[in-house]
Structure 1
Amino acid sequence: MRRVIGLMLLLLSVSLSAQALSWAYAFVVLDGRVYEVMDVAVLEGDLGEVVGEVKTMADDMDGSYYGDASNMYPIGTTYREVNGEAMEDVLAVEDESGWKRAEYRHDAPFSMRDHLDKVAYGALAVGVFIFVAIRMKKRHEN
């Protein structure tokens, strides 16, 4: 009986211990590049063209993300160039208090979800090719 109670308590404690991931820093991703959002304001006069926006949110349980994502900023948050800075190094990220500087840190990890559209179009092209080849073969047989 003690074993059953002990096992039940163990299972209960394991199932109740799910926690959200604690991020080291706020980030945004653009075209496979991860930028750390700094607590540094970017002035309106230093803003360049809009270059993207947050399209997906990072999973706060396992840390996974894909595409133009963020771990802190909501979907629709805008990214802009910073005049005089290379976009590969620096972005401006829209924030409720204005614009913040985001600096490149590393490339995003590979995710098949980033390439699903290419895979789908490739599969569609192969399917069309096979369909046309079968139809042409049937016409030649008749």
Structure 2
Amino acid sequence: MRRVIGLVLLLLSVSLSAQALSWAYAFVVLDGRVYEVMDVAVLDDDLGEVVGEVKTMADDMDGSYYGDASNMYPIGTTYRKVNGEAIEDVLAVEDESGWKRAEYRHDAPFSMRDHLDKVAYGFVGLGLVVFVMYRFRRTR
């Protein structure tokens, strides 16, 4: 009986410990740089060209993210340059109420997934080159 009670208590404690992460602030990532999205509007006259978009979402459980990610904005949210500001310092982020200012805070943590995507593209390119060379030699 003690084992059953102990097992039930253990299972309850494990199942009750799962919770979602609470973020300190809304952020977006562009080219390995994390920008905090401020509650400051950017006027349409100050908007420059499109420089990127959210491509992945941060994990609410462990806080991990890779690539051009966000913890609050959905995939497809656009980033634009702010005229008169360096992209390394400030971005404009598309919001349902307009455009919000996002300021650089720190570099994103290292993620192997960022580099695996590049390696995969390299292998695809190498495979195409080998295929074209093979086809070219066969037709001669």
- 115-124 or 95-104, larger mean C-alpha shift: 115-124
Q: What corresponds to 1:139 in structure 2?
A: none
Q: Which amino acid aligns with 1:2?
A: R
Q: What corresponds to 1:75 in structure 2?
A: 75
Aligned mates of 2:107, 2:97 — CA distance in 1:
27
Q: Which amino acid aligns with 2:2?
A: R
Q: What corresponds to 1:15 in structure 2?
A: 15
Q: Which amino acid aligns with 2:100?
A: K
For residue 112 of structure 1, report the CA deviation from its aligned partner. 1.1
Larger Rg: 1
Count residues in correspondence: 132
Match of 1:101, SS state, is strand
Q: Which amino acid aligns with 1:9?
A: L
CA, structure 1 residues 121+52, in 2 after alignment: closer, same or farther (shift >3 Å)?
closer
Q: Which amino acid aligns with 1:100?
A: K
Correspondence list, 1:94-105, <5 A: 94-105=94-105
Aligned mates of 2:105, 2:30 — CA distance in 1:
12
For residue 7 of structure 1, report the CA deviation from its aligned partner. 2.6
Q: Which amino acid aligns with 2:30?
A: L
Q: In the TM superposition, what whole-angstrom CA distance separates every residue of 1:59-102 from its partner, at most 9, and x where no partner exists?
A: 00000000000000000000000010000000000001110000
Aligned mates of 2:90, 2:9 — CA distance in 1:
50
Aligned mates of 1:121, 1:80 — CA distance in 2:
26
Q: What corresponds to 2:137 in structure 1?
A: none
CA, structure 1 residues 19+50, in 2 after alignment: closer, same or farther (shift >3 Å)?
same
Q: In the TM superposition, what whole-angstrom CA distance separates every residue of 1:103-123 from its partner, at most 9, and x where no partner exists?
A: 000000111111113222444
CA, structure 1 residues 121+50, in 2 after alignment: closer, same or farther (shift >3 Å)?
closer
Q: What corresponds to 2:90 in structure 1?
A: 90
Correspondence list, 1:1-142, <5 A: 1-123=1-123, 125=126
- State TM-score, norm by structure 1: 0.84
Aligned mates of 2:122, 2:72 — CA distance in 1:
34
Match of 2:64, SS state, is coil
- 107-116 or 4-13, larger mean C-alpha shift: 4-13
Segments of structure 2 that go 5 or more residues without pairing to the other structure are 134-140
